[in-house]
Structure 1
Amino acid sequence: MGNRRKSRELAMQALFSIDMSPNGSKDVLERFCDNFTPSSKTLSFFLKLVHGVLHTRTEIDAVIARYSNNWKLNRMSCVDRNIMRVAVYELLCCQDIPHKVSINEAIDIGKKFGTEESGAFINGILDSIRRALENKDVDVKINFSPNTVE
């Protein structure tokens, strides 16, 4: 497994933990890292993804909600929701990663950690977002630079 794939998997798991915690605090991320320590090869990208999603979650969730017909975000499985958050962060903020790579990674992670339907569900929503981005139909203002993360 590649380092970026491992970073994405760990990011989804950390975001899942934060999502499931009653207060969603930074302490949850610290405890996660204490128990599932990212390797030196995965740490940087892992932190970029987690902090990026946490700082832009409102914008990311709005994009997912807009393109998930008949699905409210809080009714999606926590695994699927956080896989898509990572992928949408990549689509919006990681210009060095081709959109298809982000989507394919999300689908594969969904198949590994989600249900039988997760891959198709994630693909449908992310592909709609990708098309909208390529057609410039998504106007999202992200005021976050991964270089400013503490």
Structure 2
Amino acid sequence: MKVTAATRSRARHFAMQAIYQWQMNGNPLHVIEAEFHTDNDMSKVDTEYFHELFHGVAADKSALDACFLPHLKSLPLEKLDPVTLALLRQATFELKNRVDVPYKVVINEAVNLAKKFGAEDSHKFVNGVLDKVAADLRALEFNAARS
């Protein structure tokens, strides 16, 4: 399958849902991933990217949380709604590990998912936090885009 913006978007969509499920029930990653492949039409999904996001977030959760925690305005992780937390972790993973994906794309995709699945106005919060994370993790790219 050819990797396109659409197949990547669908990968992010399903990865966010898988991360959410993992956060909520703690089932093993391979079980959740198998359920997604069984229960969803993955023919138009970049499944390698889905796998990378899902497993990458799970493997690096603490380090990812540390990247955005300073930007939560002293809001503890436990107070974040689970969808927002999943989106912040996923997008932070991309910002940290996928420098081939422009930071604006990462943020835009996360904001769109927050609009679709998050609490009311969570997209504004996600946008604000990720903008600060991008400034930290992608300073050169971020500053070049701002000048």
The unaligned stretches of length 5 or more in structure 1 are 137-150
The unaligned stretches of length 5 or more in structure 2 are 141-147
1:67 Cα deviation (Å)?
A: 1.6
Q: Where does residue 95 of structure 1 map in the other structure? A: 99
Letter in 2 for 1:62: A
Which piece of structure 1 moves more, 32-41 or 65-74? 32-41
Which piece of structure 1 moves more, 24-33 or 66-75? 24-33
Once residues 59 and 110 of structure 1 are traced to their aligned partners in structure 2, the CA distance between those partners, rounded to angstroms, is 22
Letter in 2 for 1:110: A
Once residues 48 and 134 of structure 1 are traced to their aligned partners in structure 2, the CA distance between those partners, rounded to angstroms, is 20
| Structure 1 consecutive aligned stretches of length 4 or more whose deviation exceeds 6 Å | none
Once residues 90 and 67 of structure 2 are traced to their aligned partners in structure 1, the CA distance between those partners, rounded to angstroms, is 12
Q: Where does residue 74 of structure 1 map in the other structure? A: 78
Structure showing the higher helix proportion among its residues: 2
Within-5 A mapping of 1:14-93: 14-21=18-25, 23-26=26-29, 27-39=31-43, 41-93=45-97
Once residues 15 and 7 of structure 1 are traced to their aligned partners in structure 2, the CA distance between those partners, rounded to angstroms, is 12
Letter in 1 for 2:123: G
CA deviations over 1:31-66 (Å, ceiling 9, x no partner): 333222522642111111111111111100111212
Matched, 1:121 2:125: yes
- Identical-pair percentage: 31
Give the CA RMSD over aligned residues: 1.8
Number of aligned residue pairs: give it.
135
1:28 Cα deviation (Å)?
A: 3.0
1:135 Cα deviation (Å)?
A: 4.1
TM-score by length of 1: 0.82
CA deviations over 1:100-149 (Å, ceiling 9, x no partner): 1101110011001112211101011101111122448xxxxxxxxxxxxx
Q: Is the 8 A contact 2:94 2:101 kept in 1?
A: yes
Q: Is the 8 A contact 2:20 2:82 kept in 1?
A: yes
Letter in 2 for 1:90: E
